[in-house]
A and B are shown apart, each in its own frame.
Chain A
Amino acid sequence: AQSVTQLGSHVSVSEGALVLLRCNYSSSVPPYLFWYVQYPNQGLQLLLKYTTGATLVKGINGFEAEFKKSETSFHLTKPSAHMSDAAEYFCAVSLTLIGNKLTFGTGTQLKVEL
Chain B
Amino acid sequence: NAGVTQTPKFRVLKTGQSMTLLCAQDMNHEYMYWYRQDPGMGLRLIHYSVGEGTTAKGEVPDGYNVSRLKKQNFLLGLESAAPSQTSVYFCASNRPQKTVNTEAFFGQGTRLTVV
Q: Interface of A with B (CB < 8 Å)?
A: 4, 9, 32, 36, 41-46, 49, 51-52, 90, 94, 96-107
Contact = CB atoms under 8 A, between A and B. Distances in A.
Contacts of B96: 98-100
Contact of B98 (A90, A98, A105): A98
Contacts, number: 69
Contacts of A103: 45
B41 interface: yes
Interface stretch (B12-20, B69-77, B79-87, B99-107): B99-107
Given A100-B96, A104-B44, A106-B42, 16 more contacts: A4-B42, A41-B109, A43-B106, A43-B109, A44-B92, A44-B106, A49-B101, A94-B101, A97-B99, A98-B98, A99-B31, A100-B103, A100-B104, A101-B45, A102-B43, A103-B45
A105 B90 contact: no
Contacts of A45: 106
Interface of B: 4, 31, 33, 35, 40-45, 48, 50, 58, 90, 92, 94, 96-104, 106-109
B40 A102 contact: no
Nearest to B91: A43
B100 A51 contact: yes
A101 B50 CA distance: 10
Given A44-B90, A105-B42, A106-B42, A32 B101 contact: yes
Contact of A97 (B35, B44, B98, B108): B98
B40 A106 contact: yes
A42 B108 contact: yes
A107 B38 CA distance: 11
Contacts of B102: 100
19 contacts: A4-B42, A9-B40, A32-B101, A42-B108, A46-B104, A49-B101, A51-B101, A90-B43, A94-B101, A97-B99, A98-B96, A99-B94, A100-B101, A100-B103, A102-B43, A103-B45, A104-B42, A104-B43, A106-B40
